[in-house]
């Protein structure tokens, strides 16, 4: 086996090195996407750094007085094809000093908070800017000239309504967007309420990013499934006892009690917590009006989460399905160790695949399988060592 270099300047080079070492299987589809990302890396390296005298100095290519126009990239395809891995490589190599990688729901929660604060400033007479979107976009761009979204998805009407206005501002400033998704842009927010208000964003996206599909024939996440005993089914006394035993082992038998997580003037109720472990029922998390920001707060506070008694989810539980998707996304992105007791296996949990939830739930299924793997446990342990 050839040694893996500590640093490579391109995504293609890193994929080749990992394949040569036997860590990865050579994949032509991944290499094609990597080549497009490397083109963006080259363009980013060939731009002038920002000068104090000009906030937009970095927008100009070397030796040119013309503003640069770097097209971003939108990569979509089925779950488990390596989109997240390639995004990791790209983001680490991007030379732009101001860059941000975020889960889409986390980013939009930040946007809504900033808009709220801007409106409060208007009420307090601290600004005369009635439209909060331009100053919010300017502040976001000042922090991140390159935005990377992993698993881009739109499920919330408030997000859908603001995206076109927000990114019109961001793109005009020179923001470069790179995103991965399970669906093509035309299928974003499909069947969503008042989708007509969202459609302009799809056209805007097409003007500023190239769209490519990653259609590798192999689902690498499923290959990594190690079937660790953290997902228990069916729902019976045996599963309850196994969850209880797992909870006792994780907490070392320490005392557990309810806690309240403060959240924007309210609180999130945690039925049982011990150290950095929390225990909920499905009802606690998905049958109450919680949103993506709540799940992100839980993922930030705890590194082990138990979710008990997840039922089979039919068409009548559309809201619960949306919340469960967001919950798993938040826990996965923070490498939280997840213990679940459920009525069925992940791939049988949703009784009917329809609309946006059907697309989104495919990702949830894949992540639930991956969260049982030995590789995911390694990521979880690395995270715990950093806390």
In the chain (387 residues long), the average pLDDT of successive 10-residue segments reads 54 90 84 96 78 49 60 87 88 92 86 93 90 96 94 84 94 95 88 87 95 78 50 92 86 84 86 93 96 92 94 92 95 93 94 80 92 81 63
Q: How many domains does the chain have?
A: 2
Q: Are residues 61 and 208 in the same domain?
A: yes
In a domain, 264, yes or no: yes
In a domain, 353, yes or no: yes
Q: Are residues 339 and 194 in the same domain?
A: no
Give 66: exposed, middle or buried? Use CB within 10 Å, 0-12, 13-18, 19+. exposed
Q: Are residues 177 and 256 in the same domain?
A: no
Q: Are residues 33 and 129 in the same domain?
A: yes
For residue 32, list its beta bridge partners.
none
Which helix H or strand E contains 227, and what residues bound it? none
- pTM of the entire structure? 0.61
The token duo for 144 is 């991140």
Q: Are residues 257 and 164 in the same domain?
A: no
Give the contacts of 167 (CB within 8 A, at least 6 positions apart).
175, 177, 201, 204, 205, 208
Structural domain harbouring 308? 224-386
In a domain, 5, yes or no: no
Length of the chain: 387
The alpha helices in the chain, defined as continuous H runs, are: 11-21, 28-45, 83-93, 104-123, 133-143, 157-173, 199-208, 220-223, 237-251, 282-286, 292-301, 318-333, 346-349, 355-370, 374-386
Cα three-residue angle 56-201-213, rounded to 5 degrees: 95
DSSP string, 321-358: HHHHHHHHHHHHHTT-EEEEEESS-HHHHBS---HHHH
Give 342: exposed, middle or buried? Use CB within 10 Å, 0-12, 13-18, 19+. buried
Q: Are residues 71 and 97 in the same domain?
A: yes
In a domain, 1, yes or no: no
Q: Which of 148, 183, 213 marks a domain boundary?
A: 213
In the block, tokens 């093509």 appear at 184
Report d(CA 304, CA 273) in Å as an integer. 10
Q: Are residues 204 and 232 in the same domain?
A: no
In a domain, 379, yes or no: yes
Strands 277-281 and 266-274: antiparallel
């Amino acid at each position: 086996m050839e040694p893996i270099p500590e640093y490579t300047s391109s995504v293609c080079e890193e994929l080749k090195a990992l394949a040569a070492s036997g860590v990865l299987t050579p994949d032509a589809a991944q290499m094609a996407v990597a080549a497009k990302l490397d083109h963006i890396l080259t363009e980013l390296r060939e731009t002038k750094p920002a000068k104090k005298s000009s906030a937009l100095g970095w927008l100009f290519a070397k030796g040119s007085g013309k503003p640069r126009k770097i097209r971003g990239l939108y990569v979509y395809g089925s779950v488990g094809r390596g989109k997240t891995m390639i995004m990791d490589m790209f983001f680490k190599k991007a030379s732009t000093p101001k860059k941000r990688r975020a889960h889409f729901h986390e980013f939009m929660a930040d946007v809504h908070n900033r808009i709220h604060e801007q409106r409060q400033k208007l009420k307090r007479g601290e600004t005369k800017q009635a439209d909060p979107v331009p100053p919010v976009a300017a502040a976001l761009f000042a922090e991140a000239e390159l935005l990377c979204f992993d698993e881009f998805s739109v499920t919330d009407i408030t997000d859908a309504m603001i995206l076109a206005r927000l990114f019109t501002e961001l793109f005009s400033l020179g923001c470069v967007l790179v995103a991965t998704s399970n669906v093509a842009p035309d299928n974003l927010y499909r069947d969503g309420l008042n989708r007509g208000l969202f459609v302009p964003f799809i056209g805007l996206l097409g003007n500023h990013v190239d769209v490519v599909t990653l259609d590798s024939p192999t689902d690498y996440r499923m290959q990594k499934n190690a079937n660790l005993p953290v997902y228990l089914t069916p729902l019976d006394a045996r599963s309850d006892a196994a969850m209880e035993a797992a909870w006792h082992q994780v907490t070392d038998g320490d005392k557990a009690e309810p806690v309240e997580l403060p959240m924007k003037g309210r609180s999130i109720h945690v039925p049982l917590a011990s150290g950095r472990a929390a225990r909920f029922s499905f009802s606690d998390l998905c049958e109450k009006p919680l949103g993506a920001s709540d799940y992100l707060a839980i993922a930030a506070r705890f590194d082990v989460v138990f979710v008990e008694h997840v039922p089979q989810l039919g068409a009548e539980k559309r809201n619960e399905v949306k919340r469960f998707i967001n919950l798993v996304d938040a826990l996965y992105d923070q490498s939280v160790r997840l213990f679940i007791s459920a009525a069925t296996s992940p791939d049988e949990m949703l009784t009917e695949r329809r609309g946006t939830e059907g697309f989104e739930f495919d990702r949830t299924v894949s992540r639930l399988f991956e969260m049982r793997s030995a590789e995911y446990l390694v990521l979880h342990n690395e995270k715990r060592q950093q806390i």
